[in-house]
Structures are given as structure tokens and as C-alpha cells.
Amino acid sequence: MEGRASSRPANASGKTALAVIVIAMTLLKPKAAFSPMSNDTVKLIECPRDAWQGLKRQIPTEVKVQYLRALIGAGFKHIDAVSFVSPKAVPQMADSEKVIEQLDPPNDIEIIGIVVNEKGADRAIATGAVTTLGYPCSISGTFLRKNQNQSREENHDVLETIKKRADAAGLNVVVYISMAFGNPYRDPWNEEKVGQTAGNIAGLEIRSISLADTVGVATPELIGRVMAAVMRDYSEYDVGIHMHSTPAGAAAKVLAAYDAGCRRFDAAIGGLGGCPFAQDALVGNIPTEVVLEALEQRGVKLPIKRGLDNVMAMNADISTKFSG
């Protein structure tokens, strides 16, 4: 109405329009908006996928979903939950799409899906809920052939393709350097090869790299030495560690990695799991509860412990019922 003063500031309509645009952009933003952490932040990745994949009896889909929901309820923000591989190779992961669909994870949860080829990457992307593609490479040619039937050259070529597809879909990529601390096959290994492999990954503009002690052969001294060497060249990257160990040696390994600069730790509650393609006898994952206790010795307290007793009981039940 002409002559009537408005109570809204003169530029309010412009601000309102801008606010609407910002909100719309936020809602349309791809779900996978995870960036590498700062050097002062510890990231704990819970790995039920690795814990489950070697179990002999099939875990029902609904049990997996209940467990993953319990993890989220306990405060876990980063979960290695599923893999998109041949069901003949890993029958336990044949229901990964169903698990993710039923889980319907919140937007602030990172869901890692392991893939070993382009088909697996396409399956993971198609879920609309996986936020990070996890891809194994290895210093050991023998392990690469056993694990995913690839040569080192083929492995790198596939990674390059997967990275492009992840970029197009707005997903992140984490690459695991399997056998980063040695191998049982007598394949050539040294610290320089670890650094070269990390460099090849970084050369593809992949920011997250995890060093894997796939068969639990590394001592704390070796872990500290190798991690420190990689951190010298890639301190601005999200460099992590995925260790297998006996329970007795786990804490010392965690502290060795932390003291060398590692701020990304993979673990599994109860130490369940291991790689079924690495050797005949599985060596368990580093127990999550041990990681939490070890980090507290360095003054790091992660907001994970609420509800952890319930999750540990569920994990023990799964281990008892489905180990075979």
C-alpha cells in the first residue's frame, strides 16, 4: 500500500532470496561431503565388514542392519560396512545392497563400501548411500592375484577408472596398501616400496591412504618406522592404518602408529575378523575397545563409549552363532 512504511529492512527481500538459494544448495549437495581430517583429529573407522567377511555361516541381513544401527547409536561416524564383490568370492557380502537399503544411514555417517573393480564401484554408487569407495592395492603381487585376480599394473589402471567414477558421483576414495609391513609370500618388500605405492595413489589425487598389516606380521617398531616414513612425505594426507593383531600386542601397535603421526585407525569390536585371502589362519582385527583405551593414554578421548557394552554383546552373539 502506498504511503505505508514497511517493518522489513529495505534489503530484506534480497537476503531472503539469498537464504533460499543457500538452503537449496545445501539440500542438493551430494551426500559424500567428507574431507580429509586435520592432523589434530583422530578418526576411528569401525569395520564390521572386515569382521564378518570370513565367518563361515551367513549372517541374516536384518541382523547386520541391527548391528550397524547399534554402531551408529553408539556414536560411530565412520563405518566400513559392506563390500561389492563377487558373491562366489565372499558369500557373506552378497546382500550388501539390501543391507544399505534397509539401513538408510543418516547423512552425517560415512559409509565405506569396498570394491575391487569397476562393476563393484558402479554397484556401490548406485546405492546412493555409500559415501566412500574403499579400494585395495598391495605391494605384494601374490596377494593381489589371490585377493582380486589382478597384476599391479591392472590394479593401478582399475583404481584410476574408479577414481574418475567416484569423482563424477561425488564420492570419496580410500585406498588400502595391503601387505604394507611385509608378506608371507617372500615377495619383495621394503620401506621405499611403501613410499612409492603411496606416491602412486597420491598422484591420482586420492587423499585417504591406509597402510594395512594384512597378516599381523608388523612389530610396533616396524609400524612406527614405516608410518613415520610415509608421514614425512604425506603429512597433509589422511594417512591411516588397518592392523591385524593378537589381542596381547594390539595396544603397543596402536601407540606406535599414533606416536608416528597416524590419526586414522581402523578397528573392529572384539577383534573379530581377518582377510580370508591372505593366509589359512585368520589374524583378528585390532579390537576397537583396545584402540579407545590406548588413545586415552595419549589424552585422546573419542565420544564412542555410550552404548558400547550393548554393541559388544551383539558382536559376541554374532561371533558365536555364525563362526561355524
Grid cell digits, residue 120:
563393484
pLDDT of residue 304: 85
**110 - beta bridge partners?**
78
- Tell me how far CA of residue 254 lies from CA of 62, 75, 109, 288, 290, in angstroms: 33, 21, 24, 11, 8
Print burial letters for 305-320: b (CB count within 10 Å at least 16), e (below 16).
eeebeebbebbeebbe
**Of 249, 138, 265, residue with least CA distance to 189:** 138
Burial state string for 221-231 with b = 16 or more CB within 10 A and e = fewer than 16 = ebbbebbbbbb
| Nearest-angstrom CA–CA distance, 131 and 78 | 10
Residue 51 dihedral angles phi and psi, to the nearest 5°: -70, -35
What DSSP character marks residue 111? E
pLDDT by residue (tens digit) across 38-59? 445 899 999 999 999 989 999 9
pTM: 0.85
* Strand partners for 83: 114
**Residue 19: pLDDT band with limits 50, 70, 90:** very low
Length of the chain counted residue by residue: 324
Looking at residues 263-284, what average pLDDT do you find?
Answer: 72
40 vs 239, residue with greater confidence: 239
- Which one, of 265, 105, 255, 296, lies nearest residue 305 by Cα? 296
Active site residues: 275
User: Which domains are present in the chain?
Assistant: 40-322 (3.20.20.70)
Contacts for 189 with CB less than 8 Å, ≥ 6 apart: 139, 140, 179, 182, 183
* 10-14, 138-142, 176-180, 267-271: range with lowest mean pLDDT: 10-14
